[in-house]
Amino acid sequence: MQKTTNIYNTEINEILPSLQKLIHEKDETDYQMIFVSVFDHWLTQDEFQPEIHTEDAKEIKIRREKLQNFVIGLFNLTQTFTSEIKRKNQFFIYQFETKKQLLNKCEIQNQNGESGQRYDIILPEFQAVYSEEWDWTNIIWFRDQEKIKPLIELAKKSGLYILTK
Q: What is the mean pLDDT of residues 106-118?
A: 86
Q: Is pLDDT above 80 for 81?
A: yes
Q: Is pLDDT above 90 for 91?
A: no
Give the largest CA-CA distance in the chain. Answer: 50
Pair 1, 85: CB distance under 8 Å = no
Answering whether pTM is above 0.75, one says yes
Percent of the chain's residues with pLDDT above 90: 67
pLDDT digits 0-9 by tens, 33-79 = 999 999 999 999 999 989 998 889 999 999 999 999 999 999 999 99
Between residues 31 and 116, the one the model is more confident about: 31
Pairing of strands 32-37, 120-123: unpaired
| Structure confidence at residue 97 as a pLDDT band (50, 70, 90) | very high
Task: List phi, psi (to 5°) of 83.
Answer: -140, 160
End-to-end CA distance of the chain: 34
| Structure confidence at residue 24 as a pLDDT band (50, 70, 90) | confident
Dist CA 93 CA 63 (whole Å): 29
What is the per-residue pLDDT for 44? 92
pLDDT digits 0-9 by tens, 151-160 = 999 999 999 9
Q: What is the 3-state secondary structure (H, E, C) of the chain?
A: CEECCHHHHHHHHHHCCCHHHHHHHCCCCCCEEEEEECCCCCCCHHHHHHHHCCCCHHHHHHHHHHHHHHHHHHHHHCCCEEEEEECCCEEEEEECCCHHHHHHHHCHHHCCCCCCCCCEEEEHHHCEEEECCCCCEEEEEECCHHHHHHHHHHHHHCCCEEECC
pLDDT digits 0-9 by tens, 129-147 = 999 998 899 999 999 999 9
